[in-house]
């Protein structure tokens, strides 16, 4: 793998779920371009590529694009790589990164995050799933964990997670540890209980007030109450993801954004208010930092205590600009 990305002008198109299914069957291409706003599905594509190839994941963005030069050599003794290239908004850097990928010299499976026309790539559309698709995905994910889940239970879990797949996946992992068949009673005990136990909206209040010290205290309070760090992480990612989307796609209508994202208009409105404290570029950086931190946690590069500190730094960057 990883020899000639530019050898053909033919591009195959697919959606994220079909691509993941093909990867799980072992049908892996050298080059993928992931488009759309569903970051969770993008990360699942990367996850399954890593699982199937047993490769190391190397992430390249505008800050470390020089790394691309070191990824052009390949030998039988080189480690297998999944190279994730996150395209920035700045055109000059973006074009340089696309050119490096298009050269076909990178050794490994290359995954480009963002819209780009690259010969030979499989273009994978990662858009929000319709509710029926999301429910079916939950049932299938439970099955992969060796757990049975009926459609009505899966639908209830999706509703409890406010339609968010990151949150739903966290609950799938948790529930898979306690049962081989998920019931409504399990949801009430292990999902509803955890969501009402901690005051997440107090943390949201702190973000809306741009109060870093208060946000740190509220996060600490949630952790002391026994809230799982991953649950807090997903909640915060959801906030900043919606704040970014409202600015990136210039969406002022909270009802339209809520419908597209599968959230309540009230929750979306608060996310948009939080987003006013940040420039679009800063929000992009925060989303990228969230994804990188999630990767560090899952690979054991950082423990939860260290990650909590990093999370506060991520949400309150020194270069933050208030936007009125």
Q: 160 and 192 in contact (C-beta within 8 Å)? A: yes
Residue 137 has pLDDT above 50, yes or no: yes
Three-state SS string over 269-307 comes to HHHHHHHCCCCHHHHHHHHHHHHHHHHHHHCCCCCHHHH
How would you classify the pairing of strands 148-149 and 56-60?
unpaired
Q: Which of 59-73, 84-98, 191-205, 255-269 is the least confident region?
A: 255-269
* Predicted local confidence at residue 247, as pLDDT: 81
- Virtual CA dihedral for 281, 40, 161, 223, nearest 10 degrees? -70
How big, in percent rounded to 5, are the helix, strand and coil portions of the chain?
55, 10, 35
pLDDT grade, residue 21 (50/70/90)? very high
* Predicted local confidence at residue 8, as pLDDT: 43
- Higher pLDDT among residues 106 and 154, named by residue: 154
Residue 317 has pLDDT above 70, yes or no: yes
Residue 141 has pLDDT above 90, yes or no: yes
Q: 209 and 218 in contact (C-beta within 8 Å)? A: no
- Say if pTM beats, i.e. exceeds, 0.75: no
Distance CA 229, CA 227 (A): 6
Residue 264 has pLDDT above 70, yes or no: no
- Give CA angle at 82 (77, 84), nearest 5°: 140
The percentage of residues in the chain with a pLDDT greater than 90, rounded to a whole number, is 33
Distance CA 159, CA 171 (A): 12
- Higher pLDDT among residues 9 and 285, named by residue: 285
Question: Mean pLDDT for the chain?
Answer: 83
Distance CA 301, CA 204 (A): 28
Q: 147-189 pLDDT, tens per residue?
A: 999 999 999 999 888 788 888 888 898 899 889 999 999 988 8
* Predicted local confidence at residue 11, as pLDDT: 65
Q: 264 and 163 in contact (C-beta within 8 Å)? A: no
- CA-based nearest residue to 305, from 215, 239, 179, 216: 216
Q: Which domains does the chain have, with CATH numbers?
A: 12-125 (3.40.50.300), 129-197 (1.10.8.60), 199-324 (1.20.272.10)
Distance CA 282, CA 322 (A): 11
Instruction: At 309, list the tokens.
Output: 């500190």
For residue 147, the 8-state DSSP code is -
């Amino acid at each position: 793998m990883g020899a000639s990305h530019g050898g053909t002008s033919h591009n195959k198109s697919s959606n994220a779920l079909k691509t993941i299914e093909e990867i799980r069957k072992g049908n892996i291409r050298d080059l993928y371009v992931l488009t759309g706003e569903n970051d969770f599905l993008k990360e699942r594509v990367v996850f399954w590529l890593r699982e199937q190839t047993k490769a190391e994941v190397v992430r390249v963005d505008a800050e470390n694009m020089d790394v691309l030069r070191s990824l052009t050599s390949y030998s039988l003794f080189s480690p297998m790589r999944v190279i994730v290239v996150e395209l920035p908004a700045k055109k000059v850097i973006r074009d340089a990164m696309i050119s490096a990928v298009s050269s076909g010299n990178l050794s490994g499976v290359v995954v480009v995050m963002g819209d780009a026309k690259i010969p030979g790539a499989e273009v994978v559309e990662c858009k929000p799933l319709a509710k029926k698709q999301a429910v079916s995905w939950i049932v299938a994910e439970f099955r992969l964990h060796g757990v049975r889940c009926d459609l009505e239970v899966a639908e209830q879990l999706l509703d409890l997670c406010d339609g968010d797949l990151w949150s739903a996946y966290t609950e799938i992992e948790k529930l898979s540890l306690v049962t081989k068949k998920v019931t409504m009673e399990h949801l009430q005990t292990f999902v509803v209980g955890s969501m009402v136990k901690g005051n997440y909206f107090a943390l949201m209040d702190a973000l809306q007030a741009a109060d870093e010290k208060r946000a740190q205290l509220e996060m600490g309070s949630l952790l002391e109450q026994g809230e799982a760090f991953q649950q807090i992480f997903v909640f915060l990612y959801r906030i900043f993801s919606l704040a970014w989307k409202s600015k990136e796609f210039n969406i002022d209508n909270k009802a339209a954004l809520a419908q597209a994202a599968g959230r309540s208009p009230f929750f979306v409105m608060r996310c948009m208010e939080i987003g006013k404290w940040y420039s679009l570029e800063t929000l992009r950086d925060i989303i990228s930092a969230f994804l990188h931190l999630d990767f560090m946690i899952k690979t054991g590069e950082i423990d939860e205590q260290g990650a909590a500190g990093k999370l506060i730094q991520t949400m309150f960057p020194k270069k933050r600009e208030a936007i009125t």
